[in-house]
Chains A and B, each alone.
Chain A
Amino acid sequence: MAEVNIICIGCPLGCTATLTIGDGGEVAAITGCECKAGEKYVVEEYKNPVRVLTATVVTQGSPQPLLPVRTAVPIPKAKLLPGMKVLAKTRVKPPVKIGDVVIPNLLDTGIDVASTSDLAI
């Protein structure tokens, strides 16, 4: 048995939940959460923490030096820094429309990186 502390971000209270993890990796008990929604969040955050990656890619042939991009949906937290390495190597040329896919299937997550802005010539 091991214990993991996770802070809930659902409200200003910011409960620190303590999860007791069984030998099989399953969540055996939760203490410290004030509400059910918080308990659900911390279990998800323990099992599979995910974040939206937002960043920029360098442009070529546009007066705008950078194009802001995002992953369409959240990706595993551990993929954030490796994902940045892929973005650093990427170049985009105008025209780009908001929502256009800039990098398909980032790091085999099945999730695309898309433009969050138009890019003019």
Chain B
Amino acid sequence: MTLRDVDVAVIGSGPAGMAAAIKAKETGAENVVIMERAEQLGGLLHQCIHNGFGLLYFKEDLTGPEYAHRFVEKVMDSGVRPLLQTMVVGISPHRDVTAVSSQEGYITFRAKSIVLAMGCRERTRGALNIPGGRPAGIFTAGTAQRLVNVEGFVPGKKVVILGSGDVGMIMARRLTLEGAKVEAVVEILPYVGGLIRNEVQCLHDFNIPLLLEHTVSRIHGEKRVEAVTVARVDKDKNPIAGTGRQIECDTLLLSVGLIPENELSLMAGVELAPITGGPVVDEGRQTSVPGIFAGGNVVHVHDLVDNVSWESELAGQSAAEFIIGGKRAAGRRVNLKPGRNIRYIVPHTVSGEKEVSLYMRVNEPEEDVRLKVGSIMTKTVRAVKPGEMLKLELSQAQLSKLKEGTAEIVVDCEERGDR
């Protein structure tokens, strides 16, 4: 078995992995490698051929492949070593990374620090228990996206999409442009799951019906999907008897949520947070295992790639500093606790020693609210939605208001009484 020493091992070469590796190198780590199981760098960006990427990071409206290209060029210029067709199969708590590579076979890297950048995967039909047979024609939205945009196959002619997340809505438009008829987008919640711009530009633009508070209660067909039954749901999201109607279709796409991909993290003994499904991280994106860092959708599912890049740069920088500065003394750790109408906050802890951006999501849509970070900061916001991630920047000055011995800050999304 081959053994090799590296400084920083980055696992995954999507937007998170590339940003982390570049930043680790810039910060001063010498031997930085990216391990990627596919044949090229870029991860999922290659199949996301639509625009809307980079509006914040580059101040330009790029497509997924264009966004990837910018970072691939930087990786190549930076001296980071990409290892393609290299699939990581194990990580130990002592930072031994085991991989299988088409070039070198079975290989173990002894890493001084690791950045986890494996991204996320889609929830499938198995997570939903929709009654019916097992006909062909049921795809996750992301799989359909790869078929249509990369492989060159349109999976069906009459399509129903379950779930109004961004990928589902983007596929509704994409399939319509390719000549398929999207009969409906069905959403169990009373509001759209994805961004407002996608609701308008993917659904309204093409008159695609959006059925809120509805779900697919049965799949019909034996060899191939022939129809689905769509029914209204009650407050507990259960189908209401008597409200079902059949929609004829040959394809059902599922856009019903994404799950951070953390099998490798668990092998390394990294603690996961129950709500996000990703590692518990501090402000430098260090996980519960010293020397193992994480960034991007492996930590929590983002809606904008720009934030994935920024977050992963933090992880890459910390991974390099871990090596250069030696192990950091365990400084102060203040827990951030989700309060009223806050679903989660990343990072999970802050040191209070330097400025930090808080990424968070709310549980329910609300208007006229005040975001309150303990007693150190408030910000009024006109509207919040679970599908749109919130970013709050805490300055050094605000953090210096933290009292000695503070163990926890509660972050609330409060109603504003003054409007």
Question: A55-B177, A84-B177 in contact; A66/B200 too (CB < 8 A)?
Answer: no
In the complex, chain A residues whose CB is within 8 Å of the CB of B205: 51, 77, 80
Chain A 75-88: CB-based contact to B (< 8 A → 1; otherwise 0): 00100110010000
A121 to chain B, nearest CB (A): 15
A67 to chain B, nearest CB (A): 10
In the complex, chain B residues whose CB is within 8 Å of the CB of A117: 46, 65-66, 69
Residue in B61, B149, B177, B382 whose CB lies within 8 Å of A66 = B149
Question: A9-B201, A51-B201, A68-B49 in contact; A81/B382 too (CB < 8 A)?
Answer: no
Residue in B69, B148, B385 whose CB lies within 8 Å of A12 = B385
Most buried by B among A12, A70, A80, A117: A12
Complex Cα–Cα for A58 and B153 (A): 11
B352 to chain A, nearest CB (A): 30
Tell me if A22 counts as interface (CB < 8 A to partner B): no
Which residue of chain B has the shortest Cβ distance to A120 in the bound complex?
Answer: B40
Count of A-B residue pairs with CB < 8 Å: 75
Are the CB atoms of B51 and A9 closer together than 8 Å? no
In the complex, chain A residues whose CB is within 8 Å of the CB of B46: 117
In the complex, chain A residues whose CB is within 8 Å of the CB of B201: 9, 51
B142 to chain A, nearest CB (A): 16
Tell me if B197 counts as interface (CB < 8 A to partner A): yes
In the complex, chain B residues whose CB is within 8 Å of the CB of A55: 49, 177-178
Are the CB atoms of B66 and A12 closer together than 8 Å? no
Are the CB atoms of B382 and A34 closer together than 8 Å? yes
In the complex, chain A residues whose CB is within 8 Å of the CB of B149: 56, 66, 68
A78 to chain B, nearest CB (A): 10
Residue in B65, B367, B383 whose CB lies within 8 Å of A116 = B65
Question: A55-B177, A84-B177, A116-B49 in contact; A11/B66 too (CB < 8 A)?
Answer: no
Are the CB atoms of A54 and B49 closer together than 8 Å? yes
Residue in A52, A81, A98 whose CB lies within 8 Å of B69 = A98
Which residue of chain B has the shortest Cβ distance to A80 in the bound complex?
Answer: B177
Are the CB atoms of A56 and B200 closer together than 8 Å? no
B76 to chain A, nearest CB (A): 13
Tell me if B124 counts as interface (CB < 8 A to partner A): no
Tell me if A61 counts as interface (CB < 8 A to partner B): no
Tell me if A104 counts as interface (CB < 8 A to partner B): no
Complex Cα–Cα for A54 and B170 (A): 11
Tell me if B181 counts as interface (CB < 8 A to partner A): no
Query: In A6-26, which residues have CB < 8 Å from any B CB?
Result: 7, 9, 11-14
Using a Cβ–Cβ cut-off of 8 Å, how many residues does chain A contribute to the interface with B?
25
Are the CB atoms of A56 and B49 closer together than 8 Å? yes
Complex Cα–Cα for A12 and B192 (A): 11
B74 to chain A, nearest CB (A): 14
Most buried by A among B51, B179, B387: B51
Question: A7-B200, A7-B204, A116-B49 in contact; A65/B384 too (CB < 8 A)?
Answer: no
Tell me if B50 counts as interface (CB < 8 A to partner A): yes
Question: A11-B382, A66-B150 in contact; A54/B66 too (CB < 8 A)?
Answer: no
Chain A 47-73: CB-based contact to B (< 8 A → 1; otherwise 0): 000011011101000000110101000
Complex Cα–Cα for A58 and B149 (A): 10
Complex Cα–Cα for A7 and B199 (A): 10
Tell me if B355 counts as interface (CB < 8 A to partner A): no
In the complex, chain B residues whose CB is within 8 Å of the CB of A9: 196-197, 200-201
Chain A 94-121: CB-based contact to B (< 8 A → 1; otherwise 0): 0000100000000000000000111000
Residue in A7, A12, A13, A70 whose CB lies within 8 Å of B63 = A70
Which residue of chain A has the shortest Cβ distance to B49 in the bound complex?
Answer: A68
Are the CB atoms of A68 and B196 closer together than 8 Å? no
B80 to chain A, nearest CB (A): 19
Are the CB atoms of B61 and A52 closer together than 8 Å? yes
Are the CB atoms of A81 and B177 closer together than 8 Å? yes
Interchain residue pairs A-B with the least CB separation, the first 5: A65-B152, A68-B49, A13-B383, A9-B197, A117-B65
Chain A positions near chain B (C-beta within 8 angstroms): 7, 9, 11-14, 34, 51-52, 54-56, 58, 65-66, 68, 70, 77, 80-81, 84, 98, 116-118
17 CB contacts below 8 A, A to B, read A7-B196, A7-B204, A11-B196, A13-B367, A14-B383, A52-B51, A54-B50, A54-B63, A56-B149, A66-B149, A66-B151, A68-B149, A70-B51, A116-B63, A116-B66, A117-B46, A117-B65
